[in-house]
A and B are shown apart, each in its own frame.
Chain A
């Protein structure tokens, strides 16, 4: 404690200064008083007192020195001593530092990602009281919650929220400013959005509820700081200016603060427009339609209201709405989650990040076990030296402190190297296009740095404790008499345990990484029901032709023909929304003859896609039977649809679906074709019913062109721009390769594979050094014994067994424990890896082979050394 007090005193120098000054002065004053009492004059008394006191400044400095520095002096000596010890064993020091650098570096990297994603709440007022409303089942869209009319009902009837905002986060617009088009995506929000979130503009103003007076009454747009600075070069003139948003005049009223990006962590909005103007931005509006569930709802709880009370309140309203609007509202229970991480995906992200952090801690634990063995072996080797020092009067406490200082020094050096390594890794990570796009921005801030420091200290304690404890308990007499030998043999049990632990952790991590690799393989080979490779997604603003559906369809047809005529193009089609990009919601479908269109009477709630002829071919979705839709399927001809296998099977079992009927959107629809199943939301989903409607018979006006060609994406981009530009001048065309778009879906699987594989690799490296260290150590310790055995005629097998038998036995034991743990951890792995199955024979086989290879690689050299023992030479030595 004296040490801590002295260090603290270092920072309190000025206070100490005045305190000591006061103490010394009171001494001089007392002497003066006594002198005066003895009969001296005042002057004489003072002079005499000062002379007797000696040099005032020197005394003061020495006293301060005693308070602050003296203890540090001895710490300094320990540090210097430890440095000397490490310099004397550079190989040992380097191994230890590198091992820790990897262990701590890995932890810092994964923790800074967790810190960036989970530990920084949305930058709004009181983010803790914000909740997102979620349905339980059929509106499975990632963000979608409610229809606009239902939102209004919830807003009016609830008693637990101080406000509810509606957000349509799937808004896209072309903004024209000074004759230049900007392709942006943003949020359509209710007027109370900014006020409820409690954010302030950086420039200009926000729009408010009072600005809205019915349909299309609030043509205001707020720009994000990033877009304003990036695309508009922070031009102040744009504030208050009128711009065209999808050909409708809007006034730019303000710019958000730089730290505000909307309510989603990964998808930043470029702009915000009032939802009442949805018709102008999107070309149509589902705001009157109770069946059109496309609004994300976020609310702020009133102070003092619990999450449960609010949930009960909402569910009571939901039940009322079901009674009032049985045709559209199904009374599904609602639940509340924290917004920001793509709806329920947040749970997956949270679990993934925490599990990866836990695995990283395991790697560090393995590293500590490794180092503990190394340090203990070294302390045992130095047993005689330590014993001599105890005999010469050094206290055990001091020896233990010195060994701990050594561990601490190694740990700080390793930690510093680890920080540097982590910084490099994070820079590389943030430069990845995907990470940049999703605004990951993981960095080492104060919290990460503090965590790193704690990890360093804890690891130093973990691996430094063991040798320190040995030094504490060692009896000098025993050690001097016997050398290190006996001491070391007795301690074998603990070291065995450490190596076994290390191997078990290694097995667990290697299994996890193999499971992840297999999962990735599954994910890459999973049948998607479409083929994103060799296809381009083309986004064209055909707003000029959207006055009538007829005009739009014929323009689309013209554009498809134009794209089709481009050299190298093999198939072209359009769809309202490509799969696996979110924003889908089910539409109730009924049996023919149904008269009461209550949601709960629906047989299925399929996703609907509106497609042009040729879409299935362009997407390479196989048509299993029947025909494709054609341009002859128009509003005046009977309604037709192609359904997927799941739809067909659920409706009609094994009888052929072709020619069967169902009712959707109030139209009796005939099935003309059956297409293969696919993935529509994400890889994990189970088969879901889908119906494809011909574009001319559908209500949706959004279109994406899919252009398939074996030519490269860059070649196609240029060629398509040329032909489409000629067919429709003045139309903005956006192009992306479909693989790039879908890549984001595979990102979690990729991240899991990379993270788990690198940890498995690190654990494997640690296991190799651990086993190698132990085998080499035991062989070198027992050279003489081995020599005697050889001299007495022991066979190679016997020699091998006594040399590396123990590490091999530990390897097998650790392997068994590790595999058991891995199988038990399956549910955990299932959360972070696609189709995780540790009992997969390929995985198990892979783990066995890996661990055997590790064992062979690590004990190869020691075993060879044991076999080459030359008894005659050995016996002559020492």
Chain B
């Protein structure tokens, strides 16, 4: 359960990033998450890649090799329609979880 939840939230962050920023490579996604969360979320940067590949195989995102602004080759990821739906579902699920946890914390 715990593993799934962590995985779930990383997926959510990646999908959200891609929905906001369009096409991005792995490094860009990590950098965005760190910036947007005011450096609060500190994950091992490499752990985004297994997640990206898994989501690519599930058809949520699509990848293409392209050149960066500095002329480096990088793999760019993009949200698919299925990914958009998944993002919506994940956001709702997360809201539920937060609501539930908050209710628990207030219950005392």
Contact = CB atoms under 8 A, between A and B. Distances in A.
A180 interface: no
B46 A24 contact: yes
B46 A56 contact: yes
A26 B45 contact: no
Interface stretch (A29-37, A257-265, A617-625, A821-829): A29-37
Given A23-B75, A67-B53, A53 B46 contact: yes
Interface stretch (B65-73, B86-94, B97-105): B65-73
A52 B45 contact: yes
Given A2-B57, A53-B44, A30 B50 contact: no
A630 to B, nearest CB: 95
A30 B57 contact: no
Given A2-B59, A30-B68, A54 B75 contact: no
Contact of A54 (B25, B44, B57, B74): B44
Contacts of A67: 53, 56-57
B50 A23 contact: no
Given A2-B59, A22-B73, A33-B70, A27 B47 contact: no
A20 interface: yes
Contacts of A53: 44-46
Contacts of B84: none
User: Main SS of the interface on chain B?
Assistant: helix
A63 interface: yes
B49 A26 contact: no
A59 interface: yes
A26 B27 contact: yes
B58 interface: yes
Contact of A26 (B25, B52, B53, B56): B25
A54 B54 contact: no
A27 B57 contact: no
Contacts of B75: 23, 26
B8 interface: no
Contact of A6 (B46, B51, B52, B57): B57
> Which of B31, B44, B49 counts the most chain A CB atoms within 10 A?
B49
A45 to B, nearest CB: 14
Given A33-B70, A52-B44, A59 B27 contact: no
A143 B61 CA distance: 69
B49 A63 contact: yes
B57 A66 contact: yes
B46 A23 contact: no
> Which of A60, A62, A71 counts the most chain B CB atoms within 10 A?
A62
B32 to A, nearest CB: 13
A63 B50 contact: yes
Interface residues of B, number: 25
A558 interface: no
A5 interface: yes
Contacts of B57: 2, 5-6, 66-67, 70-71
Contact of B72 (A26, A34, A56): A26
A70 B57 CA distance: 9
A26 B56 CA distance: 19
A23 B54 CA distance: 15
Contacts of B73: 22, 26
Contacts of B50: 59, 62-63, 65-66
A58 B26 CA distance: 17
Nearest to A1: B59
A66 B52 CA distance: 9
A18 interface: no
User: Main SS of the interface on chain A?
Assistant: helix
Interface string B1-41: 00000000000000000000000011100110000000000
A595 interface: no
A547 interface: no
A518 B25 CA distance: 78
Given A31-B27, A62-B50, A66-B50, A54 B72 contact: no
Interface string A35-74: 0000000000000000011111011101111110011000
B49 A59 contact: yes
> Which of A5, A60, A66 counts the most chain B CB atoms within 10 A?
A66
A22 B65 CA distance: 11
Given A26-B73, A30-B72, A59 B46 contact: yes
B26 A27 contact: yes
B80 to A, nearest CB: 12
Contacts of B52: 63
A64 B68 CA distance: 24
B46 A54 contact: yes
B70 to A, nearest CB: 7
A477 to B, nearest CB: 24
A59 B72 contact: no
A58 B70 CA distance: 28
Nearest to B75: A23
Contacts of B25: 26-27, 30
B100 to A, nearest CB: 18
A817 B61 CA distance: 56
A20 B70 CA distance: 20
> Which of A2, A6, A53, A67 counts the most chain B CB atoms within 10 A?
A53
Contacts of A24: 46, 49
Contacts of B59: 2
A27 B27 contact: yes
A66 B27 CA distance: 19
Contact of A30 (B51, B56, B58, B74): B74
A351 B75 CA distance: 59
A55 B46 CA distance: 7
Contacts of A22: 73
A33 B72 CA distance: 11
Contacts of B58: 2
Contacts of A5: 57
B67 to A, nearest CB: 11
A58 to B, nearest CB: 8
Contacts of B31: 34
A872 B107 CA distance: 59
Contacts of A20: 49, 53
B27 A30 contact: yes
A70 B44 contact: no
A700 B82 CA distance: 88
Nearest to B49: A63
B46 A70 contact: no
Nearest to B50: A62
Nearest to B54: A66
A713 B21 CA distance: 96
Interface string A61-91: 0111111001100000000000000000000
A54 B70 contact: no
A20 B56 CA distance: 13
A56 B53 CA distance: 15
Contacts of A27: 25-27, 30, 45-46, 49
A60 B53 CA distance: 10
B19 to A, nearest CB: 21
Nearest to A57: B46
B85 to A, nearest CB: 14
Nearest to A9: B57
Nearest to A27: B27
Contacts of B56: 66-67
Contacts of B46: 24, 27, 53-56, 58-59
A66 B51 CA distance: 8
Contacts of A66: 50-51, 53-54, 56-57
Nearest to A3: B57
A63 B51 CA distance: 7
A23 B25 CA distance: 9
Contacts of B27: 26-27, 30-31
Q: Which 4 pairs of residues, A with B, have the shortest CB-CB distance?
A: A54-B44, A59-B46, A62-B50, A66-B54
11 contacts: A24-B46, A27-B27, A29-B72, A30-B68, A54-B44, A54-B45, A54-B47, A55-B46, A56-B46, A65-B50, A67-B56
Given A30-B25, A52-B44, A71-B57, 9 more contacts: A2-B57, A24-B46, A26-B75, A27-B26, A30-B27, A59-B49, A62-B50, A64-B53, A66-B53
